[in-house]
Amino acid sequence: MEAVAKVLAIYVSPKRLAPMEARDSVRAVAGTGIEGDHRFDPTGEIAKKKGPGREITLIEIEAVEAVFRDYKIQLGADQTRRNVITRGIALNHFIGKEFRVGDLRLQGVELCEPCARLESMTQKGVKEALIHRGGIRARILEGGTLRVGDAIGYQV
């Protein structure tokens, strides 16, 4: 049986720096972001100020597992501060490309490298452990409902 790349979990943070909250599904709006997340801005002003790709973030659960395997750092998926946790697909390959996540059509913009703030909110060593595997930032080109269990694949 062939493994299917899929969404394992979805998180939003209603307020900047607030704990991430799990959701079974969320509404993603093209050019705007995920409803319920602090970065969601119907005017699009936040995305314009911060640059493209601030609408949704994704990280592979395999990266979280590798942090434990390689650095012995226990990191919860919610602690990564990424919106979408995936399994079974190399997200870094989507930089500059369009891809599908369930109903959504996304475009990978850049790596979502870890920062000092992430390390201060989790534990020492997280920044180094997640370099080049901290997930990606993406633009939402076509919105819709994103659900846990949705398939992930290249744009067709």
**So what's the pLDDT on residue 46?**
58
Per-residue pLDDT averaged across 57-83, rounded?
94
Residues 127 and 49: their CA atoms lie apart, in Å, by 25
Per-residue pLDDT averaged across 62-81, rounded?
94
Name the pTM for this structure: 0.91
Per-residue pLDDT averaged across 124-130, rounded?
87
**Could you tell me which of 68, 65, 63 has the C-alpha nearest to residue 113?**
63
* Paired tokens of 92: 């870094």
**So what's the pLDDT on residue 39?**
84
Q: Which helix (H) or strand (E) holds 127?
A: helix 126-130
* 156, pLDDT greater than 60: no
Class of domain 6-154: mainly beta
Helix, coil or strand: residue 137: strand
Cross-strand bridge partners of residue 100: 105, 153
* 102, pLDDT greater than 70: yes
